[in-house]
Amino acid sequence: MDAKVRKKAAPKPFKSPFGYAMPHLSPLYTPPPFEYRDAHSMMIVFESDPKVLARYVPKPLVIDPKATMFAQISRFFTAGFGSYHEILLAAHAHFQGRPVNYSLSLILDNDIAICGGREIWGFPKKLGRVTLSDKDGVMSGTVERGGLPLVRGAMQIGDICSPGELAGSAEYVQLKMIPSVRNGAPPEVMQLASTTLRNVVMKDVFKGPATLEFFPSPVDRFCDIPIARVIGGYLYRADFTLEDGEVIHDYLTA
């Protein structure tokens, strides 16, 4: 075969002499993929203010004209990260014409999932207290950090519905940013990172009317996002795989 048309060999996977994650003595997490099983989630969909949301969703992402968002409170179990509760606040957006979910903030109660989520995919995660409970036909969730309530959501466990009613993008995009060790220098990393949930199996999807409240805090600014209209709530169980991600935009080289 002519050398000019010879295919290049695929690069060998990088193998670090220090293991996959810090600390070298006892790495906090293992490489993906992570298999999630029987995740319980309450998703409350709402509309916000496009002018406000545009300040928090970075270009080249394009926000939904109605500033559609969702707050999802979940109870997860997975090998590698273990079990934890989490809230995800995300906005519907588009990247190069395709729908994505932009992650604005996550709060959860598991240090392994916090560090792994931040360091691998760039999910903006913080430590806090999250609850998800079912009582009197109402599913409710709360979020607290710093001794202050941040989020309270609830929905009636109403009619069972087709998973298609909850259909949306399985791609999540985050602003992954790692500061430089030198103050005043450009960040070491500043990019939009994307990951798509795979092998998603939706089970037992319910829908119903919902309420959502954000409370003030001097640190965690959920209440800076207006809740113009609550569209409704969904309660579901799901299995999925959290795999590798990819960089879709690098601000340092663009």
> pLDDT by residue (tens digit) across 229-251?
999 999 999 999 999 999 999 99
Secondary structure element (H or E) that encloses residue 113, with its range: helix 111-116
Task: With beta carbons less than 8 A apart as the criterion, state whether 195 and 172 touch.
Answer: yes
For the chain, give every domain's residue range: 29-250
Task: With beta carbons less than 8 A apart as the criterion, state whether 118 and 126 touch.
Answer: no
CATH annotation of 29-250: 2.40.400.10
Task: With beta carbons less than 8 A apart as the criterion, state whether 87 and 72 touch.
Answer: yes
pLDDT of residue 3: 47
Question: For 56-83, what is each residue's pLDDT tens digit?
Answer: 999 999 999 999 999 999 999 998 899 9
CA 203, CA 38: separation in Å to the nearest integer?
Answer: 8
Token reading at 222: 């959920």
pTM of the model: 0.92
Question: For 71-114, what is each residue's pLDDT tens digit?
Answer: 999 999 998 899 999 999 999 999 999 999 999 999 999 999 99
pLDDT of residue 13: 78
The pLDDT-based confidence of 2 (bands split at 50, 70, 90) is very low
Q: Which of 89, 54, 50, 52 is nearest to 67 (CA)?
A: 50
Task: With beta carbons less than 8 A apart as the criterion, state whether 162 and 205 touch.
Answer: yes
Judged by average pLDDT, the poorest of 19-28, 70-79, 132-141, 217-226 is 19-28
pLDDT at position 1 over 80: no
